[in-house]
């Protein structure tokens, strides 16, 4: 049976969550659309990926939750976030640690390998974009143990999919371990 993994994309408005989600789902045509359409609530994208787990290809049904960065939707997240197998924090070079606090607190059950930070830059997307600046978590932050990837749909779109697969593989392993534990408990 194919395993379903749910990945949340969260972060401040206009960081590129919707563009990255579309790219992951191969809906790339909307990148040319220069007009900004803020996401209302959440958009759920579904697609399959074959991911390498311990040298073996595993089929995974990916569900990507492209969340709105607008704080007026925050009240609905706690009820939904518990279904996440992975989370990607999408930031701009201007994003500060505290901008992510509300989001980070939503995923207390996820281990660092189930999380990634995409420090996303594009022309016109924040003052530091062109200087190679990136989001850096504080050394005391829970995010300090999380992989930070500098992403750009213009210069390296494949790196985004590759990192997504790494995240899926890690989340898949966590998911398998916990379901095996549950099964063992049922048998005992």
The 39-68 site mask, x for binding Mg ion (CB under 5 A), equals x-----------------------------
For the bound state, the minimum distance from the C-beta of residue 103 to ligand GDP, rounded and expressed in Å, comes to: 12
**Binding segment toward ligand GDP, per CB under 6 A, in 14-22, 49-57, 137-145, 165-173:** 14-22
* 93 is a site residue for ligand GDP (CB under 6 A): no
Cα separation, 74 vs 162, in Å, equals 29
Residue 141 near Mg ion by CB under 5 A: no
- Scanning residues 149 to 168, which ones bind Mg ion (CB under 5 A)? none
Site stretch for ligand GDP (CB under 6 A), options 47-55, 75-83, 117-125, 166-174: 117-125
Question: Using CB under 6 A, which of 89, 122, 164, 175 touches ligand GDP?
Answer: 122
Using CB under 6 A, which of 7, 15, 91, 129 touches ligand GDP?
Answer: 15
Does 45 bind ligand GDP (CB under 6 A)? Our answer is no
- In order, the DSSP letters of 11-70 are -STTSSHHHHHHHHTT-GGGGG--S--PPPSEEEEEEEEEEEETTEEEEEEEEEEEE---
125 binds ligand GDP (CB under 6 A): yes
Contact stretch for ligand GDP (CB under 6 A) within 10-18, 50-58, 161-169, 179-187: 10-18
Q: What does the DSSP assignment read for 88-140?
A: EEEE-TT--GGGGHHHHTT-TT--GGGEEEEEE--TTS-TTGGGT------TT
What is the rounded distance in angstroms from the CA atom of residue 13 to the CA atom of residue 150?
18
Task: For residues 124 and 127, give the distance between their C-alpha atoms in angstroms, rounded to a whole number.
Answer: 8
Q: How far is CA 5 from CA 12, 49, 72, 133, 179, in A?
A: 23, 10, 26, 31, 13
Where along the sequence are the contacts to ligand GDP (CB under 6 A)? Answer: 13-19, 34, 36, 38-39, 69, 90, 122-123, 125, 152-154
């Amino acid at each position: 049976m194919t395993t379903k993994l749910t990945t949340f994309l969260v972060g401040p408005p206009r960081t590129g969550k919707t563009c990255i989600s579309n790219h992951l789902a191969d809906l790339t045509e909307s990148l040319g659309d220069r007009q900004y359409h803020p996401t209302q609530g959440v958009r759920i994208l579904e697609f399959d990926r074959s991911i390498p787990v311990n040298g073996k290809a595993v089929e995974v049904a990916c569900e990507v939750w492209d969340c709105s960065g607008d704080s007026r939707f925050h009240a609905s997240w706690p009820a939904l976030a518990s279904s996440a197998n992975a989370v990607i924090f999408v930031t701009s070079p201007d994003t500060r640690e505290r901008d992510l606090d509300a989001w980070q607190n939503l995923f207390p059950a996820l281990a660092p390998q189930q999380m990634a930070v995409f420090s996303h830059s594009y022309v016109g997307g924040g003052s530091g974009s062109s200087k190679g600046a990136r989001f850096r978590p504080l050394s005391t932050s829970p995010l300090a143990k999380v992989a930070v990837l500098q992403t750009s749909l213009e210069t390296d779109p494949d790196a985004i999919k590759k990192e997504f697969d790494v995240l899926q593989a890690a989340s898949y392993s966590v998911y398998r371990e916990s379901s095996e534990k549950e099964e063992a408990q049922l048998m005992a």
